C-alpha cells in the first residue's frame, strides 16, 4: 500500500534533480523535504517570498467511486469549477486545511462547498492564468503521449494552494492511486522517473518560451540566451483539450527530439550538429523543433535516442506521432 504523500515527495525530488541537470543555474525550492505537513497558505508564501517564476504542486488523485476504471492525469489551473467533478477534486485537496489549527484565520472568506466562493480567488489569478494554462497544456500534452493512464486534460478548479500565488501556478494530479495498475506505476521507481521526466520536459519547453533558449550540453556550455521583452507573448493553441487519444487504424511513428528553440532557429554550425546531418527542423507556432529519425519500431527509436545522447545531446527524448 503506497502513501500519496510519499509518492508526491519522491516525484518532486526527482523533478528537482532533473531540473538541476537540464536548466543550469536554476533554483528549485521544495516546500518540504521530509514527512511533514505544510499548511496550504505557507506553500504559496514560500513561492511568493522566493519570487518564483513557476509554482508546481504535485499530487496523486483518488476516486471514492468507480475506482477500478478511473485513471490518468489531470493538470489544474485556478478558476471557477465548471464541472461537479472538478469541484469534488478541489474539495478533497483543500480539505487538508482542517489539519491546520488556525485555518479559520487564513481561509475565513471561503465556503468550501460552493463553486461561487472561488470567483474572487480566480480573480487573483486572472493576470497569470494565460501562462498557467500554457504550462498546464504542455504538461498534459507530455502525459498524453507517454503516461500509461493517458491524459484527462487541463481543467480549472479553486485550489487554495494556487489562489494567491504571484506567479504562473499549476496543480498536477499525476495519476489515480485508487486504480490498481496505476497505484503500482505511481509507486514504482520507474514510474516516478518517467513521470518526473515528462514534467521536466514540459518545464524546459515552458522556460524556452519565456526566458531562455536551452540547447544540448557541449554547445557553448548550454547557451542560455535571455529573450527580448517583446518576444514574451506566446500565441496559445486554439484547442482547449490537450488529452491525446489514439485514432483507430492510425499508425504510430517515433522520432528523437534533440532540441527546441523559441522564435529563433538554432545555429547548427557547432561541431556537434555536424554529427547529425539527417536532423530535420520543424516549426510549430513560435517554436523550432529538431528531430532525427522516423521509426515505426519503438526499440529502434530508443536505440537511436541513446546513440544521440552519447554524441553529447544528453537531453534527447522520444516523441511519437499518429499518421
Domain total of the chain? 2
Residues shown for the chain:
323
Question: Quick check: is 94 in a domain?
Answer: yes
Q: Are residues 58 and 181 in the same domain?
A: yes
Question: Quick check: is 233 in a domain?
Answer: no
Q: What pLDDT shows up at residue 262?
A: 64
Question: Quick check: is 87 in a domain?
Answer: yes
Grid coordinates given for 316 = 534527447
Question: Quick check: is 16 in a domain?
Answer: yes
Q: What are phi and psi of 162, to 5 degrees?
A: -100, -20
Question: Quick check: is 225 in a domain?
Answer: no
Q: Are residues 253 and 190 in the same domain?
A: no
| Burial status of residue 222 (CB atoms within 10 A of its CB: 0-12, 13-18, 19 or more) | middle
Question: Quick check: is 35 in a domain?
Answer: yes
Question: Quick check: is 220 in a domain?
Answer: no
Q: Are residues 164 and 259 in the same domain?
A: no
Q: Are residues 257 and 197 in the same domain?
A: no
Query: Could you give the CA distance from residue 258 to residue 253 in angstroms, rounded to a whole number?
Result: 16
Query: Could you give the CA distance from residue 131 to residue 109 in angstroms, rounded to a whole number?
Result: 26
Q: Are residues 139 and 255 in the same domain?
A: no
Q: Are residues 186 and 296 in the same domain?
A: no
Tens-digit pLDDT profile for the chain (323 aa)? 678 889 999 999 999 999 988 887 788 999 888 877 777 668 777 887 888 889 999 999 998 777 888 999 999 988 765 444 444 544 554 554 444 455 444 444 445 454 444 444 444 445 577 888 899 999 999 999 899 999 999 998 777 777 777 788 899 999 999 999 999 999 999 999 999 999 999 998 888 776 545 544 444 322 223 323 222 222 223 323 333 333 344 578 889 988 877 677 887 777 778 888 889 998 877 778 889 999 988 899 999 999 988 887 777 888 887 76
Q: What pLDDT shows up at residue 225?
A: 30
Q: Are residues 252 and 189 in the same domain?
A: no
Per DSSP, 267 falls in state -
Domain with 275, as residue range(s), is: 239-322
Q: What pLDDT shows up at residue 229?
A: 28
Q: What pLDDT shows up at residue 317?
A: 83
Q: Are residues 303 and 196 in the same domain?
A: no
Domain termination residue (choose one: 187, 209, 231): 209
Instruction: Identify which of 168, 166, 156 has the alpha carbon closest to the alpha carbon of residue 129.
Output: 168
We report the CATH number of the domain holding residue 251 as 3.30.70.1070
Q: What pLDDT shows up at residue 66?
A: 77
Question: Quick check: is 61 in a domain?
Answer: yes
CA dihedral 126, 76, 247, 146 (to 10 degrees): 120
Q: Are residues 35 and 140 in the same domain?
A: yes
Query: Could you give the CA distance from residue 18 to residue 273 in angstroms, rounded to a whole number?
Result: 24
Owner of C-alpha cell 506553500: 43
> Is the pTM of the predicted complex or chain greater than 0.75?
no
We report the CATH number of the domain holding residue 141 as 3.40.630.40
Q: What are phi and psi of 221, to 5 degrees?
A: 50, 55
Domain termination residue (choose one: 161, 193, 209): 209
* Half-sphere exposure for 5 (CA within 13 Å, toward CB): 9
Give 3-state DSSP helix, strand, coil % of the chain, rounded to 5. 40, 20, 40
Q: Are residues 15 and 112 in the same domain?
A: yes
Q: Are residues 190 and 45 in the same domain?
A: yes
Collect all residues with Cβ–Cβ distance below 8 Å to 127 and sequence separation of at least 6: none
Amino acid at each position: 500500500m503506497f502513501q500519496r504523500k510519499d509518492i508526491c515527495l519522491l516525484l518532486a525530488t526527482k523533478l528537482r534533480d532533473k531540473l538541476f541537470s537540464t536548466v543550469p543555474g536554476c533554483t528549485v525550492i521544495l516546500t518540504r523535504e521530509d514527512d511533514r505537513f505544510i499548511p496550504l497558505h505557507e506553500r504559496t508564501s514560500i513561492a511568493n517570498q522566493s519570487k518564483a517564476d513557476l509554482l508546481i504542486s504535485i499530487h496523486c488523485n483518488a476516486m471514492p467511486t468507480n475506482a477500478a476504471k478511473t485513471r490518468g492525469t489531470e493538470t489544474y489551473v485556478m478558476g471557477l469549477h465548471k464541472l461537479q467533478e472538478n469541484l469534488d477534486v478541489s474539495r478533497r485537496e483543500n480539505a487538508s486545511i482542517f489539519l491546520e489549527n488556525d485555518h479559520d484565520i487564513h481561509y475565513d472568506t471561503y465556503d468550501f462547498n460552493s463553486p461561487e466562493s472561488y470567483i474572487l480567488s480566480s480573480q487573483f489569478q486572472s493576470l497569470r492564468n494565460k501562462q498557467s494554462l500554457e504550462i498546464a497544456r504542455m504538461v498534459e500534452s507530455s502525459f498524453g503521449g507517454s503516461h500509461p493512464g493517458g491524459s484527462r486534460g487541463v481543467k480549472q478548479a479553486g485550489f487554495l494552494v494556487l489562489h494567491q500565488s504571484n506567479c504562473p501556478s499549476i496543480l498536477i494530479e499525476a495519476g489515480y492511486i485508487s486504480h490498481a495498475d496505476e497505484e503500482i506505476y505511481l509507486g514504482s521507481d520507474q514510474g516516478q522517473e518517467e513521470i518526473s521526466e515528462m514534467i521536466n520536459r514540459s518545464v524546459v519547453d515552458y522556460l524556452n518560451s519565456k526566458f531562455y533558449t536551452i540547447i544540448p550540453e557541449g554547445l557553448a556550455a548550454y547557451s542560455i540566451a535571455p529573450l527580448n521583452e517583446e518576444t514574451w507573448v506566446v500565441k496559445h493553441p486554439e484547442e482547449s483539450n490537450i488529452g491525446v487519444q489514439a485514432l483507430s487504424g492510425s499508425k504510430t511513428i517515433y522520432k528523437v527530439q534533440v532540441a527546441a528553440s523559441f522564435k529563433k532557429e538554432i545555429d547548427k554550425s557547432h561541431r556537434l550538429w555536424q554529427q547529425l546531418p539527417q536532423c530535420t527542423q520543424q516549426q510549430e507556432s513560435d517554436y523550432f523543433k529538431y528531430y532525427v529519425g522516423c521509426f515505426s519500431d519503438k526499440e529502434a527509436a530508443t536505440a537511436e535516442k541513446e546513440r544521440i545522447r552519447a554524441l553529447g545531446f544528453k537531453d534527447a527524448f522520444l516523441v511519437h506521432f499518429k499518421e
